[in-house]
Structure 1
Amino acid sequence: MSAIQENIEFDCCRRMKYNPIFHEKHGKTLTDEELEYLCKFWEFDELSTMSMALGKTESTLAAKVHQLRKSGRFEYYKNRGKYY
């Protein structure tokens, strides 16, 4: 097993926990382009795939989608069409 594989941890829901190798944008605000990508492909892409693409943990992305839906901005970013 490689050193990278030994340092990967998962939570009880089988989501990868924070790892600086894979989550390089941890602690940084999502850009408008990243928010549009997240909302547009939320129903089609795997959460793990989007996590790798955006450099954020799966938990962070799921929480962001919940926040956007609660505030009514999820559909705005999903249908915006500026970047995707």
Structure 2
Amino acid sequence: MSSERHVLTYFKDGVEYYASSGRMVFNPEYHENHKKPWKVHDLIFLCSSYDAMKKRDIGLALGRTEMTIFEKAKSLRKNGQFEYFKNMGQEHKKNALDDAKRICSS
């Protein structure tokens, strides 16, 4: 008896998705950072965008799979680092707004 597991997938607009979850199947064209180390600016983007964006969109922006986005966020929360990176993103946005206001008022 074979222990092979068959996973059902479907294609939409030329992209393959898992039938069970609707998540995109790994594709090196879209997930170019798969298995690569995370950069600080990627962690800041992940954490500061996590509540406002779809996980699929975050994954595509970072070149990683949707499941990797879920797993990294879970890991950062478990280690107490999620809020740290989220706050770094909020501070960066605040500084950018302050700079824009200063430039516009000059």
TM range (shorter): 0.7 to 0.9
Say which SS state the counterpart of residue 8 (structure 1) adopts: strand
The secondary structure found in structure 2 opposite 1:9 is strand
| 8 Å Cα contact 1:68-1:74 kept in structure 2 | yes
Equivalent of 2:77 in 48, 59, 69: 69
- Name segments (4+ residues, structure 1) moved above 4 Å: none
Evaluate the alpha carbon distance shift between residue 25 and residue 83 of structure 1 in structure 2; reply closer, same or farther with a 3 A threshold: farther
Choose the corresponding residue for 1:9, options 17, 20, 24: 17
Aligned to 1:31: 39
Shift of 1:9: 3.0
Question: TM-score, normalized by length of structure 2?
Answer: 0.69
Structure-1-length-normalised TM-score = 0.85
Matched, 1:78 2:86: yes
1:48 aligns with 2:56: yes
> What percent identity do the matched residue pairs reach?
35
Residue deviations 1:36-68 (CA, integer Å, cap 9, x gap): 000001000111111110000000010000000
For the Cα contact (< 8 Å) 1:11–1:17, is it kept in 2? no
Larger relative contact order (CA 8 Å, sep ≥ 6) = 1
Q: Separation in 2 of the partners of 1:36 and 1:11? A: 31
The structure whose residues are more often strand, as a share, is: 2
**Structure 1: tracts of 5 or more residues without a match:** none
Q: Name the count of aligned residue pairs.
A: 80
